[in-house]
Structure 1
């Protein structure tokens, strides 16, 4: 079993699998990188500089980036090629972007999310976890926008380059980012609830707060198999194994309706990978196939939860009840 000491402060409980020593979900391969611990100072972004690359192609498709003659200005440029009509991205929103990248210094294509086996990048905007070319560029931009980002070395890969992508420490990189979606940390699934049968835990919606989950009086004997109830049916695509989800969730114990975990206690919506063994089995089995935009209740028996080992405030052999809002999937 993974040790919980020191992890619960930074990872919600459901991210810890029942029996694993692995880490949490991964965003997958991309040119975005992580922000170095001691990154050099990044200049404030400007809307344009001379010279400037040009961009061709439609939003949502791989961009064609044409480099101008001459050397880059050294400025951090965030230029709106085309503006969307969605909400503006706020700090800590979970944002999904498609991207195309080209190394200005070498003239070589770097990477793109449209290639086979690649996915859009999902991250928290302005959270400081990714390099500024991704992290800062989307702040204040509307969903549906295409952005041209000219990233000097400090903004591209923190002045360290990226050897796996062939980007040197002094290279300027040009990115085209398509802002596909943004989910605020207090996002939740609206709509009237379809309550499960009276023998199952009942749910009270509390708006932008953790729902109240009440196990029937008694309580009756807990189920020995996974129970799934769709409280609000979303109209998005079915969740596939291996996808990253953005979710709100709350979990209580079947024995006494006592809450033991909630995303609302961790700052709001969380991102996690489903169907790959990084979560408890009840989540992997219960969420794959559900449609994005759904609110789902899962009743998870011990064998699909934490088994016969106690986990923090969850006693051994506990049946668990979750309400999960599937806000996005990448």
Structure 2
């Protein structure tokens, strides 16, 4: 029912005048600021509160009810995040255990897994070097969170200035190498994650080492 209502609302909303287009753009900007996959918002209630506030209507909640709602919701969000983190940790461990059995996949002492796609013959970077790479990073469900290919320009960064899984892999690669990396969460963003990467997420990268700058 909610999806049907949202679809109908989207069809009825006109974006013809400058005011309508600007209003929609502002709404999008607000959504981008507050959107968080770890926060289970009720979209209909959120829109209702926004509409009442914009129209100057009296709040349907008293200050005491508002304070109590925020306190209870904080506990809900915390429980939601903990469950998602636990589910991600379990899924990551299961994936890495199965992936390690695949032909061509090697696992280091740290738990980093890699597969050589193409072998190069150039120099191997050290911890003090700066490297130039093309890469694409995805989550286990295939969601792409970063890509130099999409930006149309290779990335340049110090070997010791990236996540631990990259730092380890780069010091084993040669210029011209193309590897697929399977990075455990403790060698990436761990239990905290970030805005685009969930907590305890295993990351999969296609990475090509293009150059080493001493």
Structure number with higher relative contact order (C-alpha < 8 Å, ≥ 6 residues apart): 2
Q: TM-score, normalised by structure 1?
A: 0.32
Higher fraction of strand: 1
Q: TM-score, normalised by structure 2?
A: 0.48
Between Structure 1 and Structure 2, whose CA radius of gyration is higher?
Answer: 2
Higher fraction of helix: 2
